Amino acid sequence: MASEKFEKPTGTQDILPGAVEKWQFIEEKARDLCRRYNYREIRTPIFEQTELFERGVGETTDIVEKEMYTFKDKGDRSMTLRPEGTAGVVRAYVQNKLYGEPDVTKLFYMGPMFRYERPQAGRYRQFHQFGVEVFGTTDPAIDAEVIALGYSFYKELGLSGVKAEINSVGTPEVRAAYRSTLLAFLEPMRDNLCSDCQSRMERNPLRVLDCKKDQEKFVNAPSILDSLDEECSTHFDKVKGYLDAMGIEYEINPRLVRGLDYYTHTAFEFKAQGIGAIDTVGGGGRFNGLVDQIGGPEQPGIGFGIGLERIQLILEHQGINLTSAKPLDVYLVALGEAAEQKLTKLIYELRSHGVAADRDYLGRKMKAQMKSADRLHARYTAILGDDELERGEIALKSMETGEQRTVKLDSLVQEFVKTSH
Ligand code: ATP
Ligand code: MG
């Protein structure tokens, strides 16, 4: 017999019971926020045609250049595990003609993303994002709403020190003008820049500002904000005004770019203080050219993607313990075979009525079963012996107070439906 041991792929995680409750809490928070902000969930495939990401994420990004999980399927088509959420959502928006709806389309998604990266704390090859996308309006109030939603998410999870950094990347015309100003700044340092930067200087100089290695060299780079035209400045001013009105903490970072042609106006990132190098916990921006780029009509859009592993990282860092597992309502103990028969039926009824109930399956003695009930933080144990069975009763013990009483078998379900929440 082969006795090979398997290990999870590098850069992935098993989320075990005990930790998964934190995930559920975070996911529920995201869903609840989206309900309050009136964003509806969309679920798109985990893999898409490779070309969608090449066009939808951009050929000069780290993601497309180095990080995609791309494979040929058996029909010889190039497929890619989604590295981010926006491209798929835009594809679905176009394919399902959601732009035909009379209202602004406000969507959210949550799920795993895949990037071939060097794993470290807060950086995985399979990770999870919560994201939103809004289509169909250029109103700066929606830019502020999207930022407010992301900001509230961190706030309501109890994280402190998370700030929004915002910038305007203008329109393609504004960027064309800024491009030459920026190139004039970069040209003298060309030889000192990394090879990625050098090649991006040719293809997409704005992306250079996004380089992790050369960051500190760009402190004195010209600000794109100085190149904004009237329309772009007005839009940016309005966004800031709305953020001020809501009391959202933000900073302006003129070097924050999402250097793709279809990104327009507002770009932003959420930064957490004091968690080390990996301090960007989410990011987003307006993409007025993307729907068109992906073969749809000209419809403006804006959204963000927030990494959930990084939230876990800050939670841990800040010593925040999100709610743990919900306790069991009742642990049932049967003494004797006839009692066990009855217990099987009872436990089924309890569960059918929404009560969280469990029992022993290891043939253990009563004492060991009571220990189990303790470990599971059961609120009650219900003990059914032959005597009780004969009288049509069951002994109910509160694990909290130790108080014990007898209830009719017929009314046990009722007892819990009344007391469980
Ligand atoms: P980074 O600069 O850290 O690589 P990014 O610019 O590639 O981030 P985005 O594409 O903007 O990140 O994704 C949005 C968020 O998704 C990030 O802010 C981060 O929280 C999370 N994220 C991105 N890549 C990973 C990863 N490999 N592992 C875990 N979380 C990630
Ligand atoms: Mg990255």
**Which amino acid is residue 135, in one-letter code?**
F
Give the residue ranges of the annotated binding site: 84-86, 115, 129, 133, 258, 262-263
188 domain residue, yes or no: no
The whole-number pLDDT of residue 1 equals 59
402 and 347 within one domain: yes
376 and 312 within one domain: no
The CATH number that applies at residue 365 is 3.40.50.800
133 and 34 within one domain: yes
246 and 151 within one domain: yes
311 and 164 within one domain: yes
Among 317, 343, 358, the domain-final residue is 317
The CATH number that applies at residue 112 is 3.30.930.10
Residue with tokens 């005004």: 241
Pocket of ligand 1 (CB under 6 A): 84, 115, 117, 122-124, 127, 129, 278, 280-283, 305, 307, 309-310
Q: Where are the alpha helices (DSSP H) in 166-214?
A: 172-186, 195-203, 205-208
138 and 276 within one domain: yes
Q: What are phi and psi of 82, to 5 degrees?
A: -60, 125
Cα separation of 79 and 64, whole Å?
13
Residue 60 token pair: 């000069």
Tell me which residue has its CA closest to atom 8 in ligand 1: 280
Ligand nearest to the CA of 66: 2
Range of the domain at 97: 20-170+228-317
**Which amino acid is residue 25, in one-letter code?**
F
Tell me which residue has its CA closest to atom 16 in ligand 1: 307
b/e code 39-69 from CB counts within 10 Å (16+ = b): beebebeebbebebbbbbbbebbbbbeebbe
Strands of the 380-384 sheet, one edge to the other: 357-359, 330-334, 380-384, 393-398, 404-408
312 domain residue, yes or no: yes
354 and 268 within one domain: no
pTM: 0.92
47 domain residue, yes or no: yes
275 domain residue, yes or no: yes
Tell me which residue has its CA closest to atom 26 in ligand 1: 123
The whole-number pLDDT of residue 419 equals 58
Cα separation of 154 and 310, whole Å?
11
DSSP sequence for 91-127: HHHHHTTGGGSSSPEEEEEEEEEE-----BTTB-SEE
The whole-number pLDDT of residue 206 equals 87
Specify the number of domains making up the chain: 2
3-class state of residue 72 by DSSP: strand
351 and 257 within one domain: no
254 domain residue, yes or no: yes
271 and 405 within one domain: no
**Ligand 1 centre from 234 Cα, in Å?**
30
389 domain residue, yes or no: yes
Cα separation of 261 and 99, whole Å?
22
Contacts of 380 (CB under 8 A, 6+ apart): 329, 330, 331, 396, 397, 398, 399
Q: What are phi and psi of 22, to 5 degrees?
A: -65, -40
Among 282, 317, 352, the domain-final residue is 317
**Ligand 2 centre from 237 Cα, in Å?**
29
84 and 40 within one domain: yes
Output the CA torsion sign for 383, 389, 390, 392.
positive
**Ligand 2 centre from 63 Cα, in Å?**
7
189 domain residue, yes or no: no
Ligand nearest to the CA of 87: 1
285 and 240 within one domain: yes
Query: Which residue among 64, 151, 310 is best mutated to probe the pocket of ligand 1, counting the most ligand atoms within 8 A of its Cβ?
Result: 310
255 and 195 in contact (C-beta within 8 Å)?
no
Give 10-residue mean pLDDT values along the chain (421 residues).
87 94 95 98 98 90 92 98 97 97 96 96 96 98 98 94 95 91 91 88 85 84 94 97 96 84 90 82 94 95 96 90 82 94 95 96 94 94 94 95 94 81 48
138 and 255 within one domain: yes
182 domain residue, yes or no: no
The whole-number pLDDT of residue 209 equals 87
Cα separation of 293 and 288, whole Å?
10
The whole-number pLDDT of residue 210 equals 81
Among 317, 350, 373, the domain-final residue is 317
**Ligand 2 centre from 258 Cα, in Å?**
12
**Ligand 1 centre from 51 Cα, in Å?**
21
The whole-number pLDDT of residue 325 equals 67
